[in-house]
Structure 1
Amino acid sequence: MQRRYSILAFQIVAAAIASGGAYAAPFTYTNARFGTTCTFPDEVFTDRQPEPENGDGQEWLSTDGASLICSGILNIDNDTPKGFVAAERADSEPGYKITYSKTGKDWAVLSGTKDGEIFYERRLFGRDGVIRTVWIEYPPALKARYDALVGSIAASLKAD
């Protein structure tokens, strides 16, 4: 398990360096309510927002306009990865467009644009009845910087 974290830490730091900056060791957040865990460079996402009253997750902001949310929700509708993606693709909300989606047995990934920002979302559908999510949103002008970070951050999403 320790080796996995070391490899992940290396991937995040390498991605950060490739994107034009050197960052300190990544930060790992674990949500106490749902056991959702994700790892990210805390030199990028520096502004931790107040935790919501329901304790379902946490949001961080960057100084350049990006945001990251790591959270969990109860899967009260028994949603599946394919069902989630189908519902999101059918969403006709103005300013929301899915440009990429992929599903696996217990996960789904979406990316696209929402209100002029690029977003990337990964969801894990746990056997424990919890959906764990990481959501990263950033301005299109910063695409190269954040595209280099998104994969490593999304891959770090897990149940604690």
Structure 2
Amino acid sequence: MKSTIKILALIIVSLLLLASCSNDKYQNAMDKGIESLIVKDYHQAAIYFEIALKEKAGDEDASSYFDQATQMKNALSAYEQKQYDSAIDSLNTVMNHRNGLKTLQSEAKSLRDLIHSDQSITASFQKDLDLVKSLITKESYNLAEEKIQLLQKDIETNKVLADYQSEVTKLSVQVTVALTTNEPVLQQNETGNNEVKSNSKKNKKKKTETFKYRSYENDRFGFSMQYPEGLKMDTPPTNGDGASFYNAEFEVTAYGGHTNTVNEGESIETYYQEEINSIPGQIAYQKFTDDWYVVSYEENGQIFYNQFFFGQEIFNKFSISYPANRQDQYGPVTTYIAKTFAPSAQ
């Protein structure tokens, strides 16, 4: 009889110890889950609350916190991928959870408000972007250039618009290239230096940005060009085929050469195809004619603009490069150089 009582007592003690151990594991998991929520590590919090549920199946608090943490994790992931509708669905679940944590519900509301703001910003930006495309189609390049400058400023001040940078840069390059044969008005200032001023009526209402230029003439191949006054001239090559001018951001190189030196019967298409095949990135603009071509592209945050002139005996070429985020400043410079470049190849 006494032995039976001892056995029962041991069983009871064991059960109490197991229950105590289980409660310790549960509470430890819940505490760590809350700590993870404080630092907004929702993924790790969900793991701890799942452990708590295994220790105490059906526990209402652990179940609610696990669901909220999981939904917050999903919402953040969707937001980072700009899947806004999916993110908002997850956040609404967090906010509407009957037994959820109030702090998580508050965080969910803040994120949802941010998403709504981002949606409004991107919708407005997309509308303006579509307007620029329409202006380009209508060949209203000066007005398109103004709108692109505003879009670029929006991108610089709103991180949510960063993904639009590539598209805006391509449109900017298209406008710059179009203006090289269309819009700029060349005038003389009081000192005799050339200036570029837009003939857009709207631009006349604003302070016009001007650029002073110097002339360069190549004695060997007979071409000439204008380049911004503040650029440094690189050491000219000993064969006198051209020159390079640069500053910390902008560089223009112009040179000439003889045609039909590699293969007999070379044509402008020979050079054009060779250039197209050498470009590693996506081409933003290209135009091919009987005696010249233009190719422009962006690579690693740099815009490259190349124009080539073909003659029966010689060719002329100039190349320009500058940071894509400086299009507002160097786009007009590129327009002016292209407009005033005087090739000898014909």
Q: Same fold (TM over 0.5)?
A: yes
Kindly tell me: are residues 99 and 114 of structure 1, through their superposed partners in 2, closer, same or farther at Cα, counting changes over 3 Å?
same
CA contact under 8 A between 2:236 and 2:243: conserved in structure 1?
yes
Bigger proportion of residues as strand: 1
Q: Which of the numbers 289, 292, 297 marks the counterpart of 1:107?
A: 292
What value does the CA root-mean-square deviation take over the aligned residues? 2.7
Once the 2 structures are TM-superposed, how far is the Cα of residue 104 of structure 1 from its aligned partner?
A: 1.3
CA distance in 1, matches of 2:197, 2:274: 35
- Equivalent AA in structure 1 for residue 239 of structure 2: N
Secondary structure at 1:13 match in 2: strand
How do 1:135-150 and structure 2 match up within 5 A?
Answer: 135-150=319-334
2:311 corresponding residue in structure 1: 126
Which of 59, 65, 81 matches 2:268? 81
Name the structure 2 match of 1:57. Answer: 242
1:53, distance to aligned residue in structure 2 (A)? 1.6
1:117 shift after superposition: 1.4
1:36 deviates by 1.9
Q: Distance in 2 between matches of 1:108 and 1:71?
A: 15
Identical residues among aligned pairs (%): 23
Q: Is 2:227 the partner of 1:40? A: yes
Higher helix share: 2
* Runs of 4+ residues over 6 Å off in structure 1: 17-20
Partner residue in 1 for 2:210:
22
Contact 1:58/1:70, CA 8 A, preserved across alignment? yes
Q: CA deviation at 1:145?
A: 1.5
TM-score, normalisation: structure 1: 0.76
The 2-side partners of 1:52 and 1:114 are apart by: 27
SS in 2 for 1:32: coil
RCO comparison, higher one (Cα < 8 Å, 6+)? 1
1:12-68 deviation line (CA, Å, top 9, x unaligned): 5226x99974333x211111111121112223xx211110122111001124x1101
C-alpha distance in 2, partners of 1:9/1:83? 37
- Contact between 1:20 and 1:145, CA under 8 Å: does it hold in 2? no
Q: Closer, same or farther in 2 for the Cα pair 1:83/1:32, shift >3 Å?
A: same
Unaligned runs of 5+ in 2: 1-184, 189-193
**Cα distance change, pair 20–61 in 1 and its aligned pair in 2 (3 A):** farther
Question: In structure 2, how many angstroms separate the alpha carbons of the residues matched to 1:50 and 1:137?
Answer: 18
Paired with 1:88 and 1:109, the residues of 2 have a C-alpha distance of: 10
- Post-superposition shift, 1:110? 0.7
Partner of 1:147, secondary structure, is: helix
The question of whether the paired residues in 2 share the 8 Å contact of 1:12 and 1:41 is answered with: no
Structure showing greater Rg: 2
How far is the alpha carbon of 1:159 from its aligned partner?
3.2
Question: Structure 1 residues 36 and 19 mapped into 2: Cα distance closer, same or farther (>3 Å)?
Answer: farther
Aligned mates of 1:146, 1:106 — CA distance in 2: 26
Quote the Cα distance in structure 1 between the aligned partners of 2:232 and 2:275. 29
Report Cα offsets for 1:108-132 as digits up to 9, x if no partner. Answer: 11100245411111111123x1110
CA distance in 1, matches of 2:331, 2:237: 28
Aligned partners of 1:35, 1:117: CA distance in 2, in Å?
30
Structure 1 residues 86-113: Cα deviation after superposition (integer angstroms, max 9, x where no partner) = 222223x6x5443221111110111002
Q: Residue 73 of structure 1 contacts residue 132 of structure 1 at CA under 8 Å; is this kept in 2?
A: yes
Flag structure 1 segments of 5+ consecutive residues without an equivalent. 1-6
**When the two structures are superposed, what TM-score results if normalisation uses the length of structure 2?**
0.38
Bigger mean CA deviation after superposition, 26-35 or 72-81: 72-81
Task: Work out the CA distance in 2 between the residues paired with 1:37 and 1:19.
Answer: 30
* SS class of match (1:159): coil
